[in-house]
Structure 1
């Protein structure tokens, strides 16, 4: 499991202008089963994506397809974690592999 933290490097107007492409990117990875949840941080200086993948390298490849990354609009921090306390629904999402 991974938490991807985005931090915007440009004003919100530039983020808003690129949002349609970013949302299409998110949809692609929701449909592939990689993303569980995503949303903006408050205050609005970036966002978070909760994801699963087989490796950090796979997450890095996914991020490289985000228009925010391609256009230098955001920086990314990848946090890997192993859930030791969780609800059953977490196991249904996390599974063993993608």
Structure 2
């Protein structure tokens, strides 16, 4: 299955989320954050996500047309709106390895 097509180029973004509040406060917003993630998985923007180990934040892989789109998007995360986390953004062009093409095209691993 291929993700829905969104405007993008060959750029992938690694978004690292860092909690800046106690986990109790983070947990109060966790379901809203997960719903936010799911909406962006459905749109094809997000490719993978999960918590960091130890639980100090999370990581999201995303595709977007440009960095400004990603910067605007993360401002809508309930974690950011609630003041419990902040993001760092790393932009890169996958060119090597078995996941490089699927990351760029949005194809699933089975299709690659």
TM-score for both structures, normalised by structure 2: 0.79
Indicate which of 96, 99, 104 corresponds to 1:85.
96
Q: Is the 8 A contact 2:19 2:85 kept in 1?
A: yes
Deviations 1:61-96 (A, max 9, x none): 110110001111101100001112022x54244229
> Structure 1: which 4+ aligned runs deviate by more than 3 Å?
none
**Count of matched residue pairs:** 95
Of the candidates 68, 87, 94, which is equivalent to residue 104 of structure 2?
94
How does 1:44-63 map onto structure 2 within 5 Å?
Answer: 44-63=55-74
Which blocks of at least 5 consecutive residues in structure 1 are unaligned? none
Could you tell me which of 9, 23, 37 is aligned with 1:12?
23
Partner Cα separation in structure 1 for residue 103 and residue 45 of structure 2? 9
SS class of match (2:86): strand
Structure-1 separation of matches of 2:40 and 2:103: 14
TM, length-normalised to structure 1: 0.90
Structure 1 vs Structure 2 CA RMSD: 1.5
Counterpart residue number, 1:41: 52
